[in-house]
Amino acid sequence: MNNKTLFKSFSLIVMIILFIGCNRNNNSTKRGKNISQGTGFGINSKDGGFQYDNKYKGQMTGPGLVFVEGGTFTKGNVKDNVMHDWNNTPTQQYVRSFYIDETEVTNLMYLEYLDWMKKVFSDIENLRPIYVAALPDTLVWRNPLGFNEDMVDNYLRHPAFQDHPVVGVNWEQASRYAKWRTDRVNELMLVSKGLLRPEAIQADSLKDGYSFNTDAYYLDPSKAYGGRMNEVAGDKAKETNEDGEEMVSYADRQDGILLPEYRLPTETEWEYAALALSEIRAENIYRGKKKFPWDGEYTRSGKKRNLGDQLANFKLSAGDYGGIAGWSETGSGITTAVRSYPPNDFGLYGMAGNVAEWVADVYRPMIDETINDFNYYRGSVYTNPSIGDDGKVITIDPDSATFDNLPGSVKEEVVSDSIYRTNYSVGDNRNFNDGDVASIREYGLEGSVEDSMYDSPTSESQEGTITLINNEARVFKGGSWLDRAYYLDPAQRRFLPQNMTNNFIGFRCAMSYLGESRNAKKPKKR
């Protein structure tokens, strides 16, 4: 073999070795994370090309939230159905991991919201109704045959009740609070990253009514704060290009900086979180022996330290809301401060008693497990952002603002019906497959009945089936200080029109967990 042939053979061997080595490196997630496994191109190269934040370490835990690992449970498994109403069919459901508030939203938390709303909107004549609409109905404490005027005047604002759950808040108000909370938390996240100036988030500086909105920031950040984004951008958001012009950079969804929305928990999430089944699993067999958020079949503690103590705040019997003087059993004749009773095994307080809680779902008497047994929820209304003639998203200005669409938020529209999709055909699914005539196969055909079984009374006519069940009827869960022990069972469910409230319903917020549910590690707190 001559030298030339030997050289060619040696070169071929080297090339093969290098090729194998390159493939090994490129296919290795660990060693080749800056190399595309799809194309082999570099990621995050200083010379340009595809840029992506591959240093994401998991979702941060938002203020007030507790992480709940998902799993399987029997939803609607009422233990003592003495009412024989059977309005909740037991079904096996799977729940993805999520976050939920450690406690109910307190008066103090809601007063912070009211303070912000007052500073931003009350001095602008056409926007003042937005602030007024956020005020709880303190008159819910009145009773024609009771003296409760001290509660009317003091429950919301007096410091003696600052840690008590807020009441007099309807479902709509609770949903708006969750939206507001989302934007304030994400605003602070941008400040912590140096992308916003700290003074930009102060309510006192928003005299034009424009505020930060998470969705609007993602879709068209230049419109944030009414188009003043360049003025309020932080130092880390400002760059100077080759021509000496100042450029402003923004956080993108793929950066993973901003948190998902705060929202009301779904009924399935709330019930799963309240049950906290983790302590009664034996060799992966779900024994289903849990009746309350605590272990056991009774409302009193069996532990030596607090033997015989009630484990929730509820109505003990007729005319007995708190026990005999000197022998108080529930600590209060009305609501108690949050954390007054031990948490369940998920670390959540007040999941039974004190106040019942709004959840996101539209009420229907029955649940059909054949439709969905994964993250079950009734109330889906799919929307898209409205796009203007210029191809950009339309945001709400102060002149067109409403309670649900604050200045600076994205104008949305319900998605148009689509017969070409296999997973859904209409945008509004609140009434989907709920047993009315619209759910039958022949609906819409010539000669079929078009009346709904859920007709509600109207101001014009009382004809038809009279019922409170409609698309604006929302579920609330859990017993309260005003309820007997029967309603402490997390599987119990009741409903009320979403624009009505009373003195025993409060709420807490939830947040989706973006990541793998299986063996999820407990996220780090901020």
Measured CA to CA, the distance from residue 270 to residue 100 in angstroms comes to 8
- 52 found inside a domain: no
Residue 285 neighbours by CB distance under 10 Å: 8
Instruction: Work out the angle between the directed axes of helices 171-192 and 107-121 (0-180°, nearest 10).
Output: 80
Enter the tokens of residue 134: 């956020």
Q: What local confidence, expressed as pLDDT, does residue 14 receive?
A: 47
Instruction: Give the Å distances, CA to CA, from 443 to 157, 347, 398.
Output: 52, 47, 43
* Inside any domain, residue 517: no
In three-state secondary structure terms, 506 is: strand
Is the Cα dihedral 74, 76, 78, 81 positive or negative?
A: negative
Identify whether the C-beta of residue 507 lies closer than 8 Å to the C-beta of residue 174: yes
Residue 178, domain member (yes or no): yes
- Strands (E) located in 198-341: 238-240, 246-248, 281-282, 285-286
Q: Is 193 exposed, middle or buried (0-12, 13-18, 19+ CB in 10 A)?
A: middle
Spatial contact of 393 and 217, defined as CB atoms under 8 Å apart: no
Domain count, the chain: 1
Instruction: Give the pLDDT of the chain (526 residues) as one tens digit per residue.
Output: 555 555 555 555 545 444 444 444 444 444 456 788 888 888 887 777 887 776 778 889 999 999 999 998 888 888 777 766 667 778 889 999 999 999 999 999 999 999 999 999 998 988 999 999 999 999 999 999 999 999 999 999 999 999 999 999 999 999 999 999 999 999 999 999 999 999 888 887 787 888 899 999 999 988 888 888 888 888 888 877 666 677 788 888 888 899 999 999 999 999 999 998 865 454 444 455 678 888 777 777 767 666 667 778 889 889 888 887 766 666 678 999 999 999 998 999 999 999 999 999 999 887 665 678 899 999 999 999 999 998 889 999 988 898 889 999 999 999 987 778 888 888 998 988 887 666 655 555 555 555 555 655 555 555 555 677 889 999 999 999 999 988 999 999 999 999 999 999 999 999 999 987 655 555 554 4
Q: Report helix, strand or coil for 362.
A: strand
Residues 6+ apart with CB under 8 A from 316: 310, 322, 323, 329, 330
In degrees rounded to 5, what are phi and psi of residue 287? -80, -20
Query: E strand or H helix at 413, and its extent?
Result: strand 412-414
Residue 505's beta-bridge partner residues?
356
Reported residue count of the chain is 526
How far is Cα 336 from Cα 293, in angstroms, rounded to an integer?
18
* Cα 295 to Cα 275: distance, rounded to the nearest angstrom: 9
Beta strand 98-101 with 65-68: parallel, antiparallel or unpaired? antiparallel
Cα separation, 144 vs 167, in Å, equals 19
Evaluate whether residue 356 is within a structural domain. Answer: yes
Structure tokens at 179: 């939206």
In a domain, 519, yes or no: no
SS3 318: coil
Q: Is 238 left (phi over 0), alpha (psi -120 to 50) or beta?
A: beta
Which tokens is 487 given?
Answer: 């309603």
Nearest-angstrom CA–CA distance, 96 and 115? 35
| Cβ atoms of 139 and 152 closer than 8 Å | yes
Provide Rg for the chain, Cα atoms: 28
Position 139 in a domain:
yes
The single-letter code of the amino acid at 214 is: T
Residue 3 belongs to some domain of the structure: no
Q: Tell me, what DSSP letter sits at residue 204?
A: G
Compute the distance between CA of residue 62 and CA of residue 60 in angstroms, rounded to an integer: 6
Two structure tokens written together for 62: 């938002």
d(CA 308, CA 306): 6
pLDDT at 238: 81
Residue whose C-alpha is closest to residue 81's, from 496, 487, 361? 487
Q: What is the side-by-side order of every strand in the sheet holding 98-101?
A: 65-68, 98-101, 510-512
Amino acid at 374: F
Q: Residue with structure tokens 């004809």?
A: 463
Q: Are strands 246-248 and 238-240 parallel, antiparallel or unpaired?
A: antiparallel
Q: Which domain holds residue 246?
A: 67-512
Q: Which residues contact 189 (CB under 8 A, 6 or more apart)?
A: 60, 257, 258, 259
Within-domain flag for 518: no
Q: The whole model's pTM is what?
A: 0.87
CATH number for the domain that contains residue 168 = 3.90.1580.10
User: Which DSSP string corresponds to 69-106?
Assistant: --EEEEET--S--TT----S--EEEEE--EEEESSPPB
